[in-house]
Structure 1
Amino acid sequence: MTTLKAQLHNDLTTAIKARDELRSGTLRMTLAAITKEEVSGKTARELSDDEVRKVIAREAKKRREAAEAFEKGGRAEQAAREVAEGELLAEYLPAPLGDDDLDALVADAVAEAKANGAEGPRAMGAVMKLVTPKVAGRAEGGRVSAAVKRALAEG
């Protein structure tokens, strides 16, 4: 079984051979971010596939934010490249959760938190603790917390 990092390396080699500048550049930056993560801290280590996904998600988020900034600055060409890089990175991430799926996971977490004695707006932390691992990499934190706030306000 190939690790996600090995898959990125293989895809980089293919992109270089195909002279796909966008893909090779994006994968190089992503692999550099993964390597940086591996050597940060006291000892160098190999990242698990989940940790690699987190790095890819972080890189994809940076691309979305940069695209918005370029768009606001009237630099459509750079914005388009950032969007393309973000879409390329999304191929390596699990499919994002739809609103209904996210709401269902949040509702389960709210029910579990209530069963453990946490209710109302003060339950936010407890619910987030329960729901975050279930949505890891499939929904942005802001979207998750908004869904949790809605669910707590209704309940």
Structure 2
Amino acid sequence: MQSPGHIGMALLFAAPAWFVFHGLKTNLAFTALAASTGMLPDGDLLLMRYVFVEHHGLTHSLLFIVPTALVLGGIATGIYLAVRGSSDYSTRQVYAFATVALFAGMLAHVFADVLTTPDIAPPIKPLYPLLETRLVLDAAFVKSKLWNLGTLGLGIVVQVGLLTREVLR
């Protein structure tokens, strides 16, 4: 899936946070963190120029996503605490919040790639190295503008709807 679709899927994966957390800033922060990692697994496209990695390989697996979310969650927590100074939340709560949001964005990317036809890249192995099985549901073409812009549009509509619901409370 191209980047608009991946960002849209990250917005959709962030949507349940609006039912878990309270407060406009908190939900917007969760959504922003998730959207910020919606393209991160495709970092393998950049890495391919310098080291031997396969597109839709390691960076599209839980073996990459989990530790990356844990490390980036720590970085985001450090930045948050440095900027905010004191907080109503413990460091552990901020870390868990940031890590889950970042994980959601990357997981959305992997899910979107599972949905698409492997017309320009191989199917992914999300459970690598536990399972070598490649997974594809073949629901849409990767380069389909309708699929990509439709997913982005749906993600935006859902987020705006949830934002409106929160504001009108």
Taking structure 2 as the reference length, the TM-score comes to 0.33
Higher relative contact order, chain-length normalized (CA < 8 Å, sep 6+): 2
Largest Rg, 1 or 2 = 1
When you count helix as a share of all residues, which structure comes out higher? Answer: 1
Taking structure 1 as the reference length, the TM-score comes to 0.35
